[in-house]
Amino acid sequence: NFCVGVDCFPALFAWQEGLPGFSGMNLEPSPKGLLADLPGGHHGRQIGPGGGPTVHFPDGNATIARLLVRWLIPDAVPGSSM
C-alpha cells in the first residue's frame, strides 16, 4: 500500500492497517480512519478534497515537487504528465 519496504513502514500505520505482529500486545482495536487526516507521514496516501477517493503517490510528495519544478522551469524535468 505504501510501496516501500518493511523498514520504512511506520509501526503505527501497520497497527492501523491490521498487519500481523500486534496481536500479542493486547491493544484496543484502532478506530477506523484514525490516521486519515494526519498531516504528512502518509507516505503517498492522501485523501481527496471533500472526502473523495484516496490519491496514491508511490513516491510520496516527490511527484508534486517534480510537477512544481517542471512548471517553474520547463526544461528541468523531462516529461509532460505525472
Read off the amino acid at residue 11.
Answer: A
Domain that holds residue 32: 6-72
Q: Say if residues 44 and 57 touch (Cβ distance below 8 Å).
A: yes
Where does the pLDDT of residue 72 fall: very low under 50, low under 70, confident under 90, or very high at 90 and above? very high
Average pLDDT, the chain: 74
Q: Are strands 45-47 and 54-56 parallel, antiparallel or unpaired?
A: antiparallel
**Residue pLDDT, tens place only, 13-47:** 788 878 888 888 888 887 777 776 665 545 445 55
Domain count, the chain: 1
Residue 47 lies in a domain: yes
With contact defined as beta carbons under 8 Å apart, do 46 and 4 qualify? Answer: no
Please give the model's pTM, rounded to 2 decimal places.
0.40
Q: Cα dist. 34→4, 38, 39, 40, 63 in Å?
A: 21, 8, 12, 14, 25
Judge whether 80 lies within some domain: no
Grid coordinates belonging to 41: 507521514
Instruction: Provide the pLDDT for residue 43.
Output: 47
Is 61 within a domain?
A: yes
